[in-house]
């Protein structure tokens, strides 16, 4: 289930991108760099575990990406929902064993994206809050080639129930009345380790925040199911720096405009399961990007404020935070570094 903010910008830009080599995206202007080098990885990063995840400190994040004359924007929300609600919403695979829904609550991560050429995409992904494992999802694409999907993650794969208009006359009727219906099970030949918690690209930013990659020596390893099969994505933290940004921040009882903040750099590299080395062309399943990602994660909140990578057909692309809605008033990272970081802010 590929996230498509940058992917659709890539499609929109395809005719222009072929005219010349895409230039590298501008990095956020650095005000100070107290740590010039990333910390050593210290071996393979651990898989995400219950002890690694914490409640995120935000309710909503809004991002935008620009390339050439095209702009796409997306909002990301996260909330706890009763597990029983998720059980009622998700389909039951007829020929596969579904990933069990945990007792108590699940996390609902919803992404709403406005894309070029009048296309809109809304995705809700339900996660196990302890492990980050994807349980299932719902995806609706409106505009050109509309469709609606219900997804249920299974042991070793993904079950999809898809509906689309059978003709142009059905476009305006809505997903409930679209008559082109299909069901299929995807099961890649190369399987993840039996105990691996498999997640989805739509959960990536949520999991980066929940794993608190703004803290020193933190790391994360995810297994994701993409269009090309299972991909392992390893995150390694680097140094602190101050970067110039431009986003609005609000919380119950207050708001501010942020022009500069303290961040930790994070490098994520992916490789397809069944291979040993990262590859520049591996599909990350995330915003149409391939190979690797660079993220700048705000210290104290764990929010990625800037991230960049190479998008298919377009080249390098940078996505920036425009707005963050927090669950509580923020600590000032200039005087209060992330708890447990063991560092002093410059």
Which pLDDT tens digit goes with each residue over 120-160?
A: 889 999 999 999 999 999 999 887 788 999 999 999 999 99
Assigned domain for 255 exists: yes
Assigned domain for 345 exists: no
| Whole-number Å distance between alpha carbons of 46 and 60 | 28
What is the rounded average pLDDT of the residues 307-330? 90
- Please say if the pLDDT value at position 27 is more than 80: no
Burial 230-243 (b: 16+ CB within 10 A, else e): bbbbbbbbbbbbbb
Closest CA to 5 of 346, 316, 288: 288
| Whole-number Å distance between alpha carbons of 240 and 343 | 9
- Please say if the pLDDT value at position 178 is more than 50: yes
CB–CB of 343/337 below 8 Å? yes
- Please say if the pLDDT value at position 194 is more than 60: yes
CB–CB of 56/302 below 8 Å? yes
CB–CB of 87/132 below 8 Å? no
Q: What is the pLDDT of residues 89-103, one digit of tens each?
A: 999 999 899 999 998
| Whole-number Å distance between alpha carbons of 301 and 332 | 10
Residue 301: the pLDDT is 95
> In whole numbers, what is the pLDDT of the chain averaged over residues?
80
Strand extents, DSSP E, the chain: 30-32, 58-67, 70-82, 105-115, 119-127, 134-142, 147-154, 157-164, 180-186, 198-199, 219-226, 229-251, 254-272, 283-286, 289-298, 304-311, 315-326
Assigned domain for 342 exists: no
User: Strand 283-286 to strand 289-298: parallel, antiparallel, or no bridges (unpaired)?
Assistant: antiparallel
Q: What is the pLDDT of residues 29-86, one digit of tens each?
A: 444 333 333 333 334 444 554 446 889 999 999 999 887 767 778 899 999 999 999 9
Assigned domain for 233 exists: yes
CB–CB of 299/223 below 8 Å? no
- Please say if the pLDDT value at position 184 is more than 70: yes
Three-state secondary structure call for residue 5:
helix
CB–CB of 53/71 below 8 Å? no
List C-alpha distances in Å: 221 to 20, 271, 276.
35, 11, 14
Can you give the residue range of the structural domain that contains 129? 5-326
Indicate the Cα dihedral angle 287, 289, 292, 293, nearest 10°: -40
Residue 15: the pLDDT is 29
Assigned domain for 147 exists: yes
Assigned domain for 333 exists: no
Residue 183: the pLDDT is 94
Q: What single-letter DSSP state applies at residue 338? A: P
- Please say if the pLDDT value at position 256 is more than 90: yes
Assigned domain for 223 exists: yes
Three-state secondary structure call for residue 201:
helix
Q: Token digits for 209?
A: 């925040």
- Please say if the pLDDT value at position 13 is more than 80: no
Q: Which range has the top average pLDDT, 69-73, 143-147, 273-277, 338-342?
A: 143-147
| Whole-number Å distance between alpha carbons of 335 and 147 | 49
| Whole-number Å distance between alpha carbons of 322 and 266 | 20
HEC-encoded secondary structure of 258-298:
EEEEEEEEEEEEEEECCCCCCCCCCEEEECCEEEEEEEEEE
Residue 156: the pLDDT is 93
Assigned domain for 116 exists: yes
Residue 117: the pLDDT is 63
Give me the percent of the chain exceeding a pLDDT of 90: 52
Q: How many domains does the chain have?
A: 1
Q: Give me Rg for the CA atoms of the chain.
A: 20
- Please say if the pLDDT value at position 16 is more than 60: no
Q: Token digits for 18?
A: 């072929």
């Amino acid at each position: 289930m590929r996230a498509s903010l940058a992917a659709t910008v890539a499609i929109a830009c395809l005719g222009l991108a072929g005219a010349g080599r895409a230039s590298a995206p501008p990095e956020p202007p650095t005000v100070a760099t107290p740590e010039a080098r990333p910390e050593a990885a210290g071996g393979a990063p651990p898989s995400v575990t219950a002890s690694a995840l914490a409640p995120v400190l935000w309710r909503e994040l809004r991002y935008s990406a620009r390339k050439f004359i095209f702009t796409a924007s997306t909002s990301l929300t996260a909330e706890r929902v009763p597990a029983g609600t998720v059980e009622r919403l998700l389909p039951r695979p007829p020929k596969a064993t579904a990933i069990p829904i945990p007792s108590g609550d699940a996390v609902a991560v919803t992404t709403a994206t406005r894309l070029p050429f009048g296309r809109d995409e809304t995705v809700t992904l339900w996660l196990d809050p302890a492990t980050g494992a994807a349980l299932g999802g719902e995806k609706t694409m409106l505009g050109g080639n509309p469709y609606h999907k219900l997804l249920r993650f299974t042991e070793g794969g993904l079950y999809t129930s898809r509906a689309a208009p059978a003709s142009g006359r059905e476009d305006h009727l809505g997903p409930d009345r679209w008559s082109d219906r299909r069901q299929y099970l995807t099961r890649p030949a190369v399987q993840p380790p039996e105990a691996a918690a498999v997640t989805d690209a739509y959960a990536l930013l949520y999991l980066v925040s929940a794993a608190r990659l703004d803290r020193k020596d933190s790391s994360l390893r995810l297994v994701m199911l993409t269009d090309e099969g299972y991909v392992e994505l390893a995150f390694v933290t680097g140094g602190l720096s101050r970067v110039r940004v431009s986003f609005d921040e609000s919380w119950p009882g207050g708001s501010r405009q942020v022009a500069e903040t303290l961040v930790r750099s994070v490098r994520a590299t992916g490789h397809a399961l069944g291979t040993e080395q990262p590859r520049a062309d591996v599909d990350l399943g995330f915003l149409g990007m391939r190979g690797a990602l660079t993220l700048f994660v705000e210290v104290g909140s764990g929010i990625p404020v800037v991230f960049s990578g190479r998008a298919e057909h377009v080249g390098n692309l940078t996505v920036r935070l425009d707005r963050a809605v927090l669950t509580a008033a923020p600590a000032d990272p200039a005087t209060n570094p992330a708890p447990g970081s063991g560092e002093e802010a410059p």
